[in-house]
Structure 1
Amino acid sequence: MALAERYARTEPKSKFQTWLDGLAPENYLIVHGWLEDTTIPNARIAQMIRDDDPDDNFTGYPANKDTIAEWRRTHGTR
């Protein structure tokens, strides 16, 4: 690999981030808003995103509070 190409390499996305990026735009905005809202506890967000909701075209993610905490740390939310 050329020295100039080293900066272009990115870390692989987490499974959670891949799931988040694949959400329908309206659902992405809702979940992302929850993630950035520091008044909502990690465990509560994990609970809210676990279940599918076919009426809203939402496929849940089996997250736990640690998954949410890691996303928040990585993105400077907490």
Structure 2
Amino acid sequence: MSIDTAPTVSATALDATSGIAARRDILRRLLMTLGPILVALVIAGCILLAVASIHSPIMAMFWRRGCSRRSASSRP
């Protein structure tokens, strides 16, 4: 004795996934997937702008004193 667990397809299920409803479903899923990612990127960009505006003079000083100055071993 076996129990059939396969889902049955009804006329209402076929109507719900056809045409405009299918496009709406795809758009909704796309927005639900990409929406939070886009919001996180915008927030991260705002944070980076705020931090960069505060720390850019400090980083410029480090760059001038350490990174852009030639070391003694690289002089001809």
TM-score by length of 1: 0.23
More helix by share: 2
Give the number of the structure whose alpha-carbon radius of gyration is greater: 2
Greater relative contact order (CA < 8 Å, ≥ 6 in sequence): 1
TM-score by length of 2: 0.23
